[in-house]
Amino acid sequence: MKHQILLTVWWPVGGIRTYLRYVYGSEQLAKYEFTILCTVRPDSSVGDLSAIWPGMKVVEVAPSPWRFFWTVMKHVRGGSYHLVHAQGLTSAILSAIPCLVARVPYFVTLHDMFGEGTFKGRWQGLKSSITAWTLSHAVAIQALSNDARENVARRYPKLAAKRGHIVTVNTGIVAHRFRSAEPRDLRRELGLPDDVFLFGFLGRFMSLKGFRYLVLALRDLRLKNPTKREFVVVAVGSGGFIREDTRFVEELGLEPHFRFLPFSNDVGPILKGLDAVVIPSLSETAPLLPMEALVAGVPVIGTSCSGLREVLEGTPALVVPPADHQALAQAMGCLLQGDMRMEFESWAAKAAERFDVAGAAARIAGLYEDVMQAANGRA
C-alpha cells in the first residue's frame, strides 16, 4: 500500500504550481499517493489543475483561511495520511494546528524569502511569532537554495540551531522537455520582421521580478544602441501589477519595443523562439526560469540577487547587479552586438544534467522516508 501524503497549497500560482508539476510528476515519487489541497480564486487563470497535475487527486477550496484550515483538519483527522507537506508559509500556518491535533507530522517547503515587508502592520510581532512557532513544530523545513536556507537561519536562529531541521533541497526541471522543444515562431505570430532581436521576460508582474528596471534598460538601450538592429521584449505572464507596468511602458513611449503575451504552461517552445531571456529580479528563492532557458540553449541575462546567483553560477549567463538598469542595458547591448547562441547551445547538455529534477525528487523521497520513520519511532 502506498503512503498517503497531503500537499497543502494556499495559492497555486507561478513558481509553486510549476515546481509541483515538475517534482511530483517524477518517477522517483511514484511510490507515494498524493492529494493536493489548494485554493482557487474565481478570477484566477490557474486553469484545470487536474490537467496540470495528472495522476493526483486535487481538492479545491475557496480562498478563505478558515475554510482552508477546517478542510485540512477534516482530511488529517480522517486518519489516512502519513504526512502533510505544506507548500509555502501560509499553507504551513494553516496546516500546523490540524496536524498537531491529528498527530500527523508536517513538513514545510518555503517558496519565498523573509524580507522587510514579510510581516506588515500593527500585528507584525505576533505574525513573526506565529511563523516561528509553526516552523519549530514542523518535522523539517526545506529550503530551495542555500541562499534561502541562510535567509531562514538569519531570521530565526533558534531553528538553525536545531540540527537537521532546515535542509536545502535544490529544485529542478524536467530537462528533456526543454532540450527537445520545438521553437514557436514568435516573429510571425507578432508580425515582426525576421531580423528583429527578441528579448524575453517571463513571469508574474511583481515588484521583486524587476520588470521596471527592464523597461528603464530598454529606454537606455534605445538611446545608446551599439548596433542598428531592432529589438523587442516579449513579456509573457499575467497577474500582479501588469496594468501598472504596461502603463509605465506607455509613459516612457516604449510601446513599439514591447509585446505582451498571456501566461502559458508550455514555455519550452516560447523560450526556443527567443534570442535571449532577461531576468532582472531583485530577489529570488530558487527560480526555475533560468534553468529552463539554459537547458533550452537560450542566452540568459540575470542579476546577482539572492537565489538567482546560485543558479547562474558557473554558467555562461551574463550577470549584472540587481536594480541597475544601466548595467542591464549594457549586457543587452552585448548580445545585440555578438551572437552568443552557439555558446549557450553547447552548454545546454551540462545544464540538463545539472538542473534535471530527478535528483531533487529523489532527495525529497529520502526525506519523506526519514520523517515518517522518525514519526513512527515517536509514536
Per-residue model confidence as pLDDT tens for the chain (379 residues): 789 999 999 988 778 888 998 999 889 998 999 999 999 876 555 556 666 677 788 999 999 999 999 999 999 998 789 999 999 999 999 999 999 999 999 999 999 999 877 777 778 889 999 999 999 999 999 999 999 999 999 999 999 888 889 999 999 999 999 999 999 999 999 999 999 999 999 988 989 999 999 999 999 999 888 788 899 999 998 877 889 999 999 999 999 999 999 988 899 999 999 999 999 999 999 999 999 999 999 999 999 999 999 999 999 999 999 999 999 999 999 999 987 999 999 999 999 999 999 999 999 999 999 888 876 666 5
Domain map of the chain by residue range?
A: 3-172+357-378, 175-355
- Three-state SS for 105? coil
> Looking at this protein, which amino acid is placed at residue 130?
I
- Three-state SS for 81? coil
Q: H-type helices in the chain, by residue range?
A: 14-23, 49-52, 65-77, 89-102, 124-137, 146-155, 157-161, 175-179, 186-190, 211-223, 242-251, 268-272, 289-295, 308-312, 325-337, 341-355, 358-378
In this chain, the answer to whether the domains covering 3-172+357-378 and 175-355 adopt an identical fold is: yes
| pTM score, whole prediction | 0.92
Whether 139 contacts 369, CB under 8 Å: no
Whether 213 contacts 325, CB under 8 Å: yes
d(CA 104, CA 98): 8
d(CA 169, CA 69): 27
| Adjacency order of strands within the sheet including 231-236 | 258-261, 231-236, 197-202, 276-279, 300-303, 318-320
pLDDT digit string, tens, across residues 310-351: 999 999 999 999 999 999 999 999 999 987 999 999 999 999
Q: Which CATH architecture has domain 3-172+357-378?
A: 3-Layer(aba) Sandwich (3.40)
Give the number of residues written for the chain: 379
**Which pLDDT belongs to residue 163?**
83
Q: Which CATH architecture has domain 175-355?
A: 3-Layer(aba) Sandwich (3.40)
pLDDT digit string, tens, across residues 122-168: 788 899 999 999 999 999 999 999 999 999 999 999 998 888 899 99
